[in-house]
Amino acid sequence: MTRFVHIDYPTRHPGVERFENAVALVARVRKGFNSTRGLSSMLLAAMVSALLVVADQVVDTWADGHLMAAWVLMWAVGFAALALLAGPSRALVQRGLTAVNTWLVESARARADLRMWAIAQTDHRVMADLDAAKTRKERLMRQS
């Protein structure tokens, strides 16, 4: 009497598949995230709300019985502000983020240079490497 045993084991663990799917979802969400869009939207909302407050103060002084006209004017100011200030607010945020990123990179480089110099003052091998790099750079500058 012959017996055949067929045991089908899954080739992938269900927990691993769920984890991989969650990581892929987070990666997709992160890829679609644009920090300038959110920040520029907040800046735009602040500008529009400031303009609406000013428009409300102006309209309130002359809108004695013309409440509908004041309401229409307020919405017109709001939509015009949205249309006119969307581009400049996004450009302002982009320039600001670029400036902050540049400053962060340069300050990190400066801190790294200070740490390297502090190490070089206590270790003669590092100082010799720095001197060799400086000599190489000077030689290349003279050749070009």
Is there a contact between 93 and 36 (Cβ–Cβ < 8 Å)?
Answer: yes
Residues of the chain with pLDDT > 70, as a percent, come to 89
Residue 122, domain member (yes or no): yes
Number of domains the chain contains? 2
Residue 20, domain member (yes or no): no
Are 105 and 139 contained in the same domain?
yes
Has residue 105 got a pLDDT over 80?
A: yes
The more confident residue out of 33 and 122 is 122
Residue-range definition of the domain harbouring residue 70: 37-87
How far apart are alpha carbons 23 and 83 in whole angstroms? 38
Residue 95, domain member (yes or no): no
**What's the rounded mean pLDDT across residues 46-68?**
76
Residue 83, domain member (yes or no): yes
Are 69 and 105 contained in the same domain?
no
Has residue 120 got a pLDDT over 70?
A: yes
64, 87, 110 - which closes a domain? 87
Is there a contact between 39 and 97 (Cβ–Cβ < 8 Å)?
Answer: yes
Please give the C-alpha separations between residue 52 and each of 55, 56, 62, 85, in angstroms, as whole numbers. Answer: 5, 6, 16, 13
Are 41 and 83 contained in the same domain?
yes
**What's the rounded mean pLDDT across residues 69-87?**
80
Band of pLDDT at residue 1, cut at 50, 70 and 90:
low
Residue 92, domain member (yes or no): no
Are 82 and 113 contained in the same domain?
no
